[in-house]
Structure 1
Amino acid sequence: MDLIARISSQFQDSTRTTLEALELLAAPIAGAIETITASLLDNGKVLVCGGSGSSGDARRFAAQLVNGFELERPSLAAFALSADASTLAPSPSAPNPQSPFSRQILALGQAGDILLALTTHGDSPRIIEAIRAAHERDMRIIVLSGADGLGIAEHLTARDIHLCAPTERSARIQELHLLILHCLCDGIDCLLLGVED
């Protein structure tokens, strides 16, 4: 096996997918930045959740809003739902075992808040339940998914934003999600701080 050729192929595939995503997602990402910033300026908060492997990215994004990204600024109101292990533990009284995120959203979410949900799969029951709960609380929803995320799209409204990576490969989806989250952090900081360039 030629490992150098295989590594080169991974880089090339990642670059192709990233450039394709730029064409499709630049405007929706800008819309997501504006939506989140408007909520934060109106004393809203961002609740972030991620299914399985995406939970780490959800925690990182919430931490970057609270602690800062690349520019010095005050802390922003964000909370990673997957960070609270005690509320994620199964409860014998829970009516639905797929509902740990939705229960937190119903407890913490308010009209005008944002739910940002990440999933590499389009049929995650936890994420679908979270979306339903956020709609009950009149929250805006931003979902990051992969190309098989059409199942998720069925649960979104015209007010919501779906940032769908144009690939079904989990590695490429996760790479794009991280880049999108960095774009969100950077754009939010620039809008809040009045950065022009």
Structure 2
Amino acid sequence: MDRIKEFLNESADLKREVANTLAPQILDAINHVRTSFENGGKLLLMGNGGSAADAQHLAAEFIGRYKRERSPIPAIALTVDSSILTCVGNDYSFDDVFVRQVKGLARKEDAVIAISTSGNSGNVIKAVEAAKQIGAVTIGFLGKGGGKLKDMVDLPIVVPSTDTARIQEVHITIGHILCEILDQEF
């Protein structure tokens, strides 16, 4: 019982710290994504493992609905097409699974959210480089100090933790805040 309470309190404490330190960056992310949608752009999301699941989860909230009925909001998780992932992974390399999609799908009006608990995922780094060359705004949901992506993305949101599970819990909370606010506006 004590261990369960400890896990819950660690998660709550980290979220309180994020509320007190990262709210301005979260608002900036909302504004960047809003501008992208207002300019006819879309949201591209990517990550590996649990971060891939977060990318899919958030894209589903925009395409489906978050809390209210509305028109679909254009969002694509670059983690879901098994044919693209296995083709590119086999024919090129795993480091190219997102960059090929960014080069084929991203436009300057788009926003790209790179989700990485370490900030050092090679396939995410290559995709962010391509997105920046295209002119899309890049946002990082990061942790563990932000890694290489911290200095690459236009807007890094670095969760102040080294615990992967706690970082992922905050990433999905930030994603839900993004959905909540934009859901009310579109």
Structure 1 residues 70, 125: closer, same or farther in 2, change over 3 A? same
Task: Map Cα deviations across residues 163-190 of structure 1 (whole Å, 9 max, x no partner).
Answer: 1111110111011011101000011122
**Residue aligning to 2:115:** 118
In the alignment, residue 123 of structure 1 is paired with which amino acid?
Answer: N
**Residue aligning to 1:24:** 21
Task: Map Cα deviations across residues 11-66 of structure 1 (whole Å, 9 max, x no partner).
Answer: 11111111001111111111111111111111101111112221011001001100
In the alignment, residue 111 of structure 1 is paired with which amino acid?
Answer: K
Q: 2:172 aligns with which of 178, 185, 192?
A: 178
Contact between 1:34 and 1:188, CA under 8 Å: does it hold in 2?
no
CA distance in 2, matches of 1:147, 1:20: 15
CA distance in 2, matches of 1:125, 1:184: 26
The DSSP-based 3-state class of the residue aligned with 1:82 is: coil
Contact between 1:90 and 1:97, CA under 8 Å: does it hold in 2?
no
CA distance in 1, matches of 2:104, 2:87: 17
Q: Give the number of equivalent residue pairs.
A: 185
Report whether the alignment pairs 1:188 with 2:176: no
CA distance in 1, matches of 2:58, 2:82: 18
TM-score w.r.t. the length of structure 2 is 0.94
Report whether the alignment pairs 1:11 with 2:17: no
**Residue aligning to 1:55:** 52
CA distance in 2, matches of 1:97, 1:72: 37
The DSSP-based 3-state class of the residue aligned with 1:123 is: coil
Q: 2:133 aligns with which of 133, 136, 155?
A: 136
Report whether the alignment pairs 1:161 with 2:155: yes
The DSSP-based 3-state class of the residue aligned with 2:44 is: strand
Unpaired segments of 5 or more residues in structure 1?
193-197
- 1:93 Cα deviation (Å)? 4.2
Larger Rg: 1
- 1:148 Cα deviation (Å)? 2.9
Report whether the alignment pairs 1:98 with 2:77: no
The DSSP-based 3-state class of the residue aligned with 2:7 is: helix
**Residue aligning to 2:33:** 36
CA distance in 2, matches of 1:117, 1:6: 32
CA distance in 2, matches of 1:93, 1:55: 21
**Residue aligning to 2:66:** 69
Unpaired segments of 5 or more residues in structure 2?
none
- Structure 1 vs Structure 2: percent identity of aligned residues? 31
Contact between 2:44 and 2:76, CA under 8 Å: does it hold in 1?
yes
In the alignment, residue 167 of structure 2 is paired with which amino acid?
Answer: I
